[in-house]
A and B are shown apart, each in its own frame.
Chain A
Amino acid sequence: MQQSEFLNVVMPFKDKLFRLAKRLLVSKEEAEDATQEILLKLWSKKKSMEDYKNVEAFAMTMTKNFCLDRLKSKQAGNLKLVHSNYQEKGSQLQTQIEAKDSVSWVEKIMAELPEQQKMVLQLRDIEEYDYDEIGEMLNMQQTAVRVALSRARKTVREKLAQKHSYGIG
């Protein structure tokens, strides 16, 4: 497989890998490194890549495993990920500052979710995968995916409502 061919295969979903990595690892730099690592791994496996039914799902699973490993080693090393780059590129209108604030709250709330719910929510609501695709990527039953997703969505809703009623920003 040539480099251009490889890039054609990988390009469409590399952003998805990055976003999943960022969701899990929080910091942008970590996520970039992780994505790069995954792409290089894929590149080194390029000979066997034709054999995989779904390269995208395979890459997603790789990303998930890699990031979870990273998190585990981070915890073992007693390092805490810190990040301060809450950047919102959304609604640019000056009048929507409050709405913008709640939007960034969603990101913070998602960061507090358990890893599995985080991943399910990311894959479903942001990347819009089917349930069976998510099941394949995360090695879960479809019903388990649905349950995790429902829980994640409800948690986000509740916490968002709390923030609104308490008015803490």
Chain B
Amino acid sequence: MESDKIEKLIEKYFEASTTVAEEETLKTYFSKESVPPHLAQYAPMFQYFAIAKEEKFTKQVPLDSIASVTKKRFNYKWLSVAAVGLLMFGIYFGNNYRVAQQVEQEKAEFAYQQTKKAFSLLAENFNKGTEKVAYLNQFEETKQKIYNEN
């Protein structure tokens, strides 16, 4: 390509009125090795642009870990459901347990009353026994009197 055409393009280029296609022309022109000396000063620019375009993003992006994070957030929802379920379960069976406890306490109370009754009966009869034994004391007294008189 003639260099005067390139010169015109360069002029347009610095006024930022070239099209992408025209810039492409410039880039291919300057990527060649034989550039006239008066245009050589522009060569590094276009060469650099061509080089810079080659740079690649090589780092691996761990999208999987992000996916698992979103999954984890999903789990939180189910966690609350599970918690509510557990609470209901707890209330239901806890209540059952409480009722059972009450029944047991009543039974224990009843047994206690029965036992008390039995003991008081025993005590009553025992007292009757001791009353009878009290006569023995009388016998002892009279025996002493007799001994003393003699």
A residues in contact (CB < 8 Å) with B? 3, 6-7, 14-15, 17-19, 22, 32, 35-36, 39-40, 43-44, 88-91, 99, 102-107, 124-128, 130, 146-147, 149-150, 153-154, 156-157, 160-161, 164
Instruction: Check if A17 sits within 8 Å of B57, measured CB to CB.
Output: yes
Instruction: Check if A18 sits within 8 Å of B47, measured CB to CB.
Output: no
A126-B53 contact, Cβ under 8 Å, with A91-B47, A150-B16: yes
Instruction: Check if B51 sits within 8 Å of A103, measured CB to CB.
Output: yes
A43-B63 contact, Cβ under 8 Å, with A17-B57, A126-B53, A128-B23: yes
Nearest CB on B from A41, distance (A)? 10
Instruction: Check if B57 sits within 8 Å of A35, measured CB to CB.
Output: yes
Nearest CB on A from B44, distance (A)? 4
Question: Interface on chain A toward B: helix, strand, loop, or mixed SS?
Answer: helix
Instruction: Check if B53 sits within 8 Å of A36, measured CB to CB.
Output: no
Q: Chain A residue with minimal CB distance to B20?
A: A128
Which residues of chain B in 124-149 are interfacial with respect to chain A, using CB atoms and an 8 Å cutoff? Answer: none
Most buried by B among A6, A40, A146: A40
Q: How far is the CA of A3 from the CA of B65 in the complex (A)?
A: 12
Nearest CB on B from A159, distance (A)? 11
Instruction: Check if A99 sits within 8 Å of B47, measured CB to CB.
Output: yes
* CB of B34 within 8 Å of the partner chain: no
Instruction: Check if A103 sits within 8 Å of B54, measured CB to CB.
Output: no
Nearest CB on B from A134, distance (A)? 11
Instruction: Check if B52 sits within 8 Å of A157, measured CB to CB.
Output: no
Q: Chain B residue with minimal CB distance to A164?
A: B41
Q: Chain B residue with minimal CB distance to A33?
A: B59
Instruction: Check if A89 sits within 8 Å of B56, measured CB to CB.
Output: no
Q: Chain A residue with minimal CB distance to B60?
A: A36
Instruction: Check if B41 sits within 8 Å of A103, measured CB to CB.
Output: no
Given A15-B57, A18-B55, A90-B51, 6 other A-B residues pairs in contact with their CB atoms under 8 A: A3-B63, A19-B52, A39-B63, A103-B44, A126-B53, A160-B44
Instruction: Check if B57 sits within 8 Å of A18, measured CB to CB.
Output: yes
Instruction: Check if A150 sits within 8 Å of B56, measured CB to CB.
Output: no
Instruction: Check if A157 sits within 8 Å of B48, measured CB to CB.
Output: no
Instruction: Check if B45 sits within 8 Å of A147, measured CB to CB.
Output: no
Instruction: Check if A126 sits within 8 Å of B16, measured CB to CB.
Output: no
Instruction: Check if B16 sits within 8 Å of A22, measured CB to CB.
Output: no
Nearest CB on B from A4, distance (A)? 10
Q: Which residues of A contact B53 (CB under 8 A)?
A: 19, 126-127
Question: Could you pull out 8 A-B pairs where Cβ atoms are within 8 angstroms?
Answer: A18-B55, A39-B63, A105-B44, A106-B49, A126-B49, A153-B13, A160-B41, A164-B41
